[in-house]
Structure 1
Amino acid sequence: MDLRFLDAPPTDAERDAVDAVLGPAESGWDGGRRQAADLRYARGGHAARDRRDLLLPALHAVNDRIGWISPAALDYICRRLTVPPAEAYGVATFYAMFAVHERPRRVVHVCTDIACAARGADRLRADLAERAGPPGGTDGEVVWHESPCLGLCERAPAALALEAGAPPRFAVAAPVTAAGLDRLTGSAGAPADAPPATANGHRPSGATTFAREPLAGGSAEPPAHASVPQAGDPGLVLLRRVGVVDPESLDDYRANGGYAALREALRLGPAGVIREVLDAGLVGRGGAAFPTGRKWEGTARQPDTPHYVVCNADESEPGTFKDRVIMEGDPFSLIEAMTIAGYANAAQKGYLYIRGEYPRALSLLENAIARARERNLLGRDILGSGFDFDIEIRRGAGAYICGEETAIFNSIEGRRGEPRSKPPFPVERGLFGKPTTINNVETLVNVLPIMLMGGPAYAGIGTGRSTGPKLFCVSGTVRRPGVYELPFGATLRELLDLAGGTPNGAPPRAVLLGGAAGGFVRGDELDIPLTFEGAREAGATLGSGVVLVLDETVDLPAILVRIAAFFRDESCGQCVPCRVGTVRQEEALRRLSQGVGARRTDLTLLRDVGAAMRDASICGLGQTAWNAVESAIDRLGVFATAPATVPAADAPSAAPVAKEDR
């Protein structure tokens, strides 16, 4: 991409897509028709620069409408926002879901990550490559890619098809078969000259409303409660409405206790809400386990204004899908919880950053926000309280690193999603340089029962240091995969018994706790208490709640190679320890898996590289990239004996991926 603007005009469809987000151009200075006044003075520059945060939505608009972002379309976006073309190109190429070269309208993402790999995704991938050509090829009307985790782990193996148009459409196939992949890579679907989408007055800036009719080739989308084996259990707290309420109906939500927590919060006042959250002992559910009340208190006390609330719904840790189930099965609960967070943190604006691979959740959340606005549950003077708060959805585009809290800020602001150095911390200088509270979906929805039962009663659930209920994402070689809710303190064995154990009834060979950034435990270590302190004492981590079960049929060395490829692809490249270390880690694991090279030398290299990444990387991606590999070597003895030869063609291949909150 050149440093200067181009002379090539965008097509009418490209211009319409951008203008739907940014509004029509007002002068020749921002890409519109030249007027006589434009030759005498420049105008609109300051206003355009203040909208830099609309760069990502504008890129999405073109990609969703056309299927790729041409140089002319990117140039038009840059003129509208006064962003240097080279800088915008750097943003567009940072995200895996954007294309800057022409490609077919339909793109099929075939998950090859660890949960799907344990369920035979590699065989499907190889069969598809033989019939349809290698991934990324652009012949014909469809292109397919190997994908990181799609958040459909309970229905692995999975595939997702996205088709550009007006409006764009999507289809899910999970569990997908060879025949299902053939259907997804079949006809291209909507014609290229489909009419533009009509504007929706309630739609957040830059959000895309996907068509409701299914894309040809996808399987019927199962209800959210199909992912909750405990659905209907009266003892559930966080999942009690999933499968009970209509996720599109605000009346149904309110009839089942919805918005009672917000009314109680307004009665308590901001300080009272924070006090209850502190008394509850709620800590973040994204992996870092930082006390939520302290975070809210720190933001609320900042004199600088405005304050912001950000929901991290960029759930991309391999094996994690709990946030998706909440957003699809009980979307109003998240909107209510964000509103309470805004009230407690003295914020008038919230951003919900959702990963790009969740089109169904996006559609349901857009509907929930629109219905809440209609009923005075969002917007100005909520419920006559004098409190103003609104929520804007921002969609990610396939970058796991954007799950890191400061990388989300950069992404929302229209920059590459690279982590920032800390301090300053978000409570002091976060989004747009202002005090910001950021929590993930599960953390936020825990605030609702805290408001209803009170902080001390909530703290009575679980253990003294790990309070409340916890959601666990159980997948892999297990009979009943899905999202399970248990109080902190239950054991891993109790959780796996709920999930039915392995298909043959034997103890698992290994269980991965915490996802790719977590660690393995052996099949004879199932009495580990599922608490933050219990996991730490056992040399493991709960992380984001991933519990991936692997039996004797799973190739563990191949799984480790896939984890290493994941981190290599997802490193933003900002710091040397991670940028170089993830590559060296994958290279060494491939040699070990294939039985080539000096085993002892490669194991020593892995330890040296792992220690360097853990000690010197800027963010959690590099700091945790060695965790699972280290635990597999030391705890499971994966490379303790000469490994079986794994042909290079059969090893899991690298794929572009996405990220979640640490």
Structure 2
Amino acid sequence: MDLHLSQAEPTALERDAIDGAFAGLAHPTVHDDRPTRTAHAGHDARAQRHLLLPVLHAAQDAAGWISEGALNHIARTLSVPPAEIYGVATFYAMFSVEPRAPRVVHVCDDVACGPHGGEDIATALTEALGPEGAGQDTCWVRSPCLGMCERAPAVLHQRAGEPDLSQAPAAADDVLATTRAPGAGAADQADAVFGDTRVSAPQTGPGGTLPGGGPLRLLRRIGVVDPASLDDYRAHGGYAALRRAIDMGPTRVITELEDSSLTGRGGAAFPTGVKWKGVAGAPERPHYLVCNADESEPGTFKDRVLMEGDPFALIESMTIAGYVTGAHVGYLYIRGEYPLATRRLIAAIDAARARGYLGEDVMGEGFAFDIELRRGAGAYICGEETALLESIEGFRGEPRNKPPFPSVSGLFGKPTAINNVETLYNVLEVLSIGGQSFAEVGGGRSTGSKLFCLSGAVGAPGVYEVDFGTTLRQLLDLAGGVRGDLRTILLGGAAGGFVMPEDLDVVLTLEGARDIGATLGSGVVLVFDSHADLTGTLRRIAAFFRDESCGQCVPCRVGTVRQEEALARLERDAPIGSRETEMALLEDLARVMRDASICGLGQTAPAAITSALQLGLLDRPGKTEHADRGARNGKVPS
């Protein structure tokens, strides 16, 4: 096709990085049969459109930004118009199409990190490096939640030609020292410290138990096995579940899942057995499997802990899912802000493939399955399942209308099973003890154990595993209790709602949370004491949804902006009319976003704010100590 390109050409570094990425990724996967929607390009180019995201990562990683010449070279290679490539590159926060420093420090200023040191780090970096985004060698930028809330405050170092690394808990002096340290050594040192998952999962280690005294299930190998050793994983029961699944056959595995009443742990709580059964029985081929590891909800970090501490379990559970649903290719889509988890999963995939646990003949049992890892690039919306599919296919991560649902028409228009990380880990437990035994823990639609992410004003922040049916009070006691006087708890994340001290005896089940007008969501339990600035917290939540809206539908695109503007006016004690008028406006905006937005982001963007208003949690007028990141970028809401 005719491409109208500018005269810009890539540098030798960019060309080598892009060509190397294409060469390394374009190999045919087992039973590769990927259709495409780019009908006006050649067949070979169309078949590679799904490589766009990793190739953009390669260009960004090599040079620190994606130049016009690099975009042109990618467009020529894929036979895709450069405007489309540009549209995808500018969709993600971790990509830059403007020149910037080769080392970028992303400072989390969200609900957990901002009030607990994140703003102090931002102030210190401003003094040392200059204003946000400035700097020739190193610059710093504000970031939404980095998924390290239990270690707040957190930063992420993104560095050209060097491995990304996380730093948490971070102090300004240590952050500055890391920016000046050699790349590989700094990454290895940070991984050695940050990789101690027992810090993030206090129950774990040899002899770790549930509150009732029974053994841990989902966390049982965290802090026990070497995450880099396939042999150690097998010595602790690894791949026994896959062997059992093969012996049982796909139909029996689905029956066990249905008997278990296992529901999705990403927030939607859809029955896993029903989903797998629908994909397995779909007549159209091929089938696909997708693991949604794009864990971006502020306050959520459970999937990160699982992937860092027990990566082979995710590979095994995905292989089981592929076997049962008839998928020969699985995509593991992990958020770009998880460098350690990404490195460990890549190593686990390579090790499993080398030992015959992935490939054309898995375990010599005559079925083919392999995994391709896709790294996100900073877009919360890609946690929505259809937006995630768009991202994998090489398009902007904008949600699709449903129906059709992914089990009917998903990745590349084919039947697709999508599960989040925690759900897949639960499949191993179902196959280990049997569906009916699994269902005996908890009850109703809330069976098995559940991971909760505790952060904020709590004694020992971290990931905790409890059986469904544990009370919120018991969970807080397990985490060392509340520091200070409890004011409220954000349950379920930024898309969840607030609960009050009188709700502490609520039973943590889907049904129990619904009875008090709350939701378990992604398992967030963010605790606020009496000193917390809740107006500032609500403003941060509103800013988060404003930043993360994909902009596809008007209710969300406009509603999230207007929501933040109203909160900003209340924060400045400058309401239009009166506080009551602003409250009524927020309620109207919430109703429109809930009823008319295309996807769950817009539908739940007002949830926490509406909850706070109903409970009277919005602080009285008065400036907060710190402005939100939107205001610091010059985007002061009216």
CA drift at 1:372? 0.6
Contact 1:562 1:654 in 2 (8 A): no
Alpha-carbon shift at residue 632 of structure 1 (Å): 0.8
1:240 aligned residue: 220
**Secondary structure at 1:364's aligned position in 2?**
helix
Amino acid at match of 1:408: L
- Post-superposition Cα deviations, 1:467-495, rounded to whole Å, max 9, x if no partner, equal 00000000011110000000000000000
Equivalence map 1:58-207=2 (5 Å): 58-137=55-134, 139-165=135-161, 168-184=162-178, 186-187=179-180, 189=182
Written as runs of structure 1 = structure 2, the 5 A alignment for 1:187-336 is 187=180, 189=182, 214=187, 220-232=193-205, 233-234=208-209, 235-336=215-316
Q: Equivalent of 1:595, from 564, 573, 576?
A: 573
Alpha-carbon displacement from aligned partner over 1:101-128 (angstroms, at most 9, x marks no partner):
1111111110001011242322332333
2:454–2:527: 8 Å Cα contact kept in structure 1?
yes
Q: 1:547-580 CA distances to partner (integer Å, 9 max, x unpaired)?
A: 0011112100000000000000000000000000
**Contact 1:356/1:395 (8 A) holds in 2:** yes
Q: Could you tell me the TM-score, scaled by structure 1's length?
A: 0.89
- Compared CA separation, residues 218 and 108, structure 1 to 2 (3 A): farther
Matched ranges for 1:605-624 at <5 A: 605-624=585-604
Where 2:228 maps in the other structure, the secondary structure is coil
Q: Which residue of 1 aligns with 2:4?
A: 4
Structure 1 distance, partners of 2:590, 2:3, is 38
Report what 2:545 is aligned to.
Answer: 567
Q: Do the aligned partners of residues 282 and 189 (structure 1) sit closer, same or farther apart at CA in structure 2, a change above 3 Å counting? A: same
Contact 1:141 1:187 in 2 (8 A): no
TM-score, structure 2 as length reference? 0.92
CA deviations on 1:67-117 (whole Å, 9 max, x unpaired) are: 100001110000000110001100000000001011111111100010112
Deviates more, 1:395-404 or 1:15-24: 15-24
Corresponding residue for 1:652? 628
Distance 1:630 1:367, change over 3 A: same
Q: Would the aligned equivalents of 2:488 and 2:527 in 1 still touch at CA under 8 Å?
A: yes
Is 1:474 the counterpart of 2:454? The answer is yes
CA separation of 1:239 and 1:80: change in aligned 2, threshold 3 A: same
SS where residue 454 of structure 2 aligns? strand
Structure 1 residues 381, 307: CA separation in 2 closer, same or farther (over 3 Å shift)? Answer: same
2:503 maps to 525
The aligned runs of 1:12-31 (5 Å cut-off) are 12-23=12-23
Mapped to 1, the partners of 2:192 and 2:530 lie a distance apart of 30
1:261 Cα deviation (Å)?
0.1
**CA separation of 1:24 and 1:400: change in aligned 2, threshold 3 A:** closer
The alpha carbon displacement at 1:219 in A equals 8.9
Match of 1:427 in 2: 407
Q: CA deviation at 1:9?
A: 2.5
Q: What's the CA shift for 1:222?
A: 4.1
The superposition leaves residues 595-628 of structure 1 with CA deviations (integer Å, 9 ceiling, x where unpaired) of 1122111111101111100000000000000100
Task: From the superposition, tell whether residues 217 and 136 of structure 1 become closer, same or farther in structure 2 (CA, over 3 Å).
Answer: farther
Task: Confirm or deny: 8 A CA contact 1:170 1:215 kept in the other structure.
Answer: no
**Deviation at residue 459 of structure 1 after TM alignment:** 0.6
Q: Could you tell me how far apart the structure 1 residues matched to 2:9 and 2:244 are?
A: 54
1:333 Cα deviation after fit: 0.2
Q: Which amino acid aligns with 2:175?
A: L
Which residue of structure 2 lines up, in the alignment, with residue 351 of structure 1?
Answer: 331
CA distance in 2, matches of 1:24, 1:443: 31
CA offsets, 1:352-397, max 9 Å, x none? 0000001110110011111111111111111121110000000000
CA contact (8 A) 1:479 1:500 kept: yes
Query: What is the SS of the residue equivalent to 1:214?
Result: helix
Deviation of the 1:439 alpha carbon: 0.4
Determine the C-alpha separation between the residues in 1 that align with 2:491 and 2:4: 49
* Separation (CA, whole Å) in 2 of partners of 1:361 and 1:401: 20
**8 Å Cα contact 2:103-2:137 kept in structure 1:** yes
Rounded to whole Å, the distance in 1 between the matches of 2:631 and 2:78 is 32
Query: Residue 548 of structure 1: SS of its match in structure 2?
Result: strand
Greater mean deviation of Cα atoms: 375-384 or 318-327: 375-384
Paired residues for 1:389-428 under 5 Å: 389-428=369-408
Shift of residue 11 of structure 1?
1.4
Question: Structure 2 counterpart of 1:126, which letter?
Answer: T
- Asked if 1 retains the 8 angstrom alpha-carbon contact of 2:132 and 2:140, the reply is yes
- Give the C-alpha shift of residue 60 in structure 1: 0.5
Moved runs in structure 1, 4+ residues, more than 4 A?
Answer: 215-219
Q: Secondary structure at the match of 1:485?
A: strand
3-state DSSP class of the match of 1:151?
Answer: coil
Across the two proteins, how many residue pairs are aligned to each other?
609
Do 1:328 and 1:364's aligned partners in 2 also have CA atoms closer than 8 Å?
A: yes
> In 2, Cα distance between the equivalents of 1:62 and 1:548?
37
Q: Confirm or deny: 8 A CA contact 1:183 1:218 kept in the other structure.
A: no
Q: Is the Cα–Cα contact under 8 Å of residues 93 and 99 in structure 1 kept in the other structure?
A: yes
Kindly provide the CA deviation profile for residues 263-288 of structure 1, in whole angstroms up to 9, marking residues without a partner as x: 00000101111111111000000000
Distance 1:150 1:637, change over 3 A: closer
Describe how 1:575-590 pairs up with structure 2 within 5 A.
575-590=553-568
Structure 1 regions of 5+ residues with no counterpart? 27-42, 191-210, 657-662
What per-residue deviation string (whole Å, max 9, x for no partner) do you get for residues 22-47 of structure 1?
13999xxxxxxxxxxxxxxxx99221
The one-letter code of the counterpart of 1:141 is D
The CA deviation at 1:169 is 1.6
- C-alpha change, 1:539 and 1:97, in structure 2 (3 Å) is same
1:225-279 deviation digits (Å, cap 9, x = unpaired) = 2211101314100000000000000000000000000000000101111111111
- For 1:219 and 1:476, locate their aligned partners in 2 and report how far apart those are by CA, in whole Å: 25
| Partner AA of 2:431 in structure 1 | M
Conserved 8 A contact 1:189-1:216: no
Amino acid at match of 1:237: R
Gaps of 5+ in 2: 27-39, 210-214, 633-638
The one-character-per-residue Cα deviations of 1:161-193 (angstroms, maximum 9, x if unpaired) are 12111xx22332211122223324x43745xxx
Q: Secondary structure at the match of 1:533?
A: helix
CA shift, 1:213, in A, is: 5.5
Decide whether aligned partners of structure 1 residues 216 and 458 sit closer, same or farther in structure 2, where only a CA change above 3 A counts.
closer
Deviation of the 1:655 alpha carbon:
9.6
Contact 1:350–1:391, Cα closer than 8 Å, also in 2: yes
1:200 aligned residue: none
CA distance in 2, matches of 1:476, 1:497: 14
Percent identical pairs in the alignment equals 60
